[in-house]
Structure 1
Amino acid sequence: MREVINPKNVHWPFGFSHVVKVGDTVWVSGQLPMDQDGNIVGQGDMAMQTEKTYENLQKCLESVGATLRDIVMLGIYVTDLDEFASKTAEIRKKYFGKYRPATTGLEVSRFYFPDAMIEVEATAVIGSGASDEAIKPKQI
């Protein structure tokens, strides 16, 4: 059964849905550094925008009983990869700890909202969140 969810603690989506859930699989639309009123937060500040974007992603996952550790695929799109890499490592650690989901990172020229510097989308499987022991990368 398909469920479409728009969490109340994230801005109201315009022409899309924040979360689609089928069974235990969850797809979260690209999250932006947007407050509940639909305003971009932290103009010109990659760290602040990343923090807000991860916060929105977490809220979307929590709305269906998932966590960041349930993410199996993460897509990160930024306007400046060098700035993202140099200013956001600690923020990633704050939200993901040692967990490293499969991830794609791309630099893009712009977003629908010109002041946005980052957008993050995810696919998660509810209940699949791994313990610290289970997330150690294996090379085979």
Structure 2
Amino acid sequence: METVYTPNAPEPLGPYSQAKKVGDLVFISGQIGIDPKTGKLVEGGVAAETKQVMTNLGEILKAAGKSWDDVAKATCLLKHIDDFSAFNAIYGEYVTSKPARSTFAATIPAGAMVEVELIVG
């Protein structure tokens, strides 16, 4: 098992890694809309946070030697399920291969409105 890390994505908020690589699989921890340069949640609501989440995930994918086309499963958390359409519009710009996915309404750390984790093959 190998730890995947990039300074181009936020530092974890707790005792976990950005991602773990096990064989050909990569398990990417849930990412929220933290700008890795400032260490703070981006402002601008669900659209801005979703864009930052997807940017963060993209950087971790690169660090793991993977791409969006390799994503097998996404788990998506939204503070407000009513943001589903706005979230999907941005998510769909990045994840065009249509992996399996679950989306839930949840309370997310740091007051975030969006969190996404990935399983990558």
| TM-score > 0.5, shorter chain as reference | yes
Could you tell me which residue of structure 1 aligns to residue 98 of structure 2?
100
Q: Distance in 2 between matches of 1:16 and 1:9?
A: 17
Q: Distance in 1 between matches of 2:77 and 2:89?
A: 18
When you count helix as a share of all residues, which structure comes out higher? 2
* Counterpart contact for 1:32–1:53, Cα < 8 Å: yes
Which 5+ residue runs of structure 1 have no aligned equivalent? 126-140
Could you tell me which residue of structure 2 aligns to residue 26 of structure 1?
26
Aligned positions of 1:53-132 closer than 5 A: 53-85=53-85, 87-97=86-96, 99-108=97-106, 110-114=107-111, 116-125=112-121
When you count strand as a share of all residues, which structure comes out higher? 2
Q: Distance in 1 between matches of 2:4 and 2:68?
A: 17
Q: Provide the TM-score with structure 1 as the length reference.
A: 0.79
Q: Distance in 1 between matches of 2:116 and 2:89?
A: 17
**Which letter does structure 1 place at the counterpart of 2:42?**
V
Q: Which runs of 4+ in 1 moved over 3 A?
A: none
* Counterpart contact for 1:47–1:84, Cα < 8 Å: no
CA radius of gyration, larger in: 1
**Which letter does structure 2 place at the counterpart of 1:41?**
V
Paired residues in the alignment total 119
Q: Provide the TM-score with structure 2 as the length reference.
A: 0.91
- Percent identical residues: 28
- Provide the aligned C-alpha RMSD in A: 1.3
* Counterpart contact for 2:5–2:19, Cα < 8 Å: yes
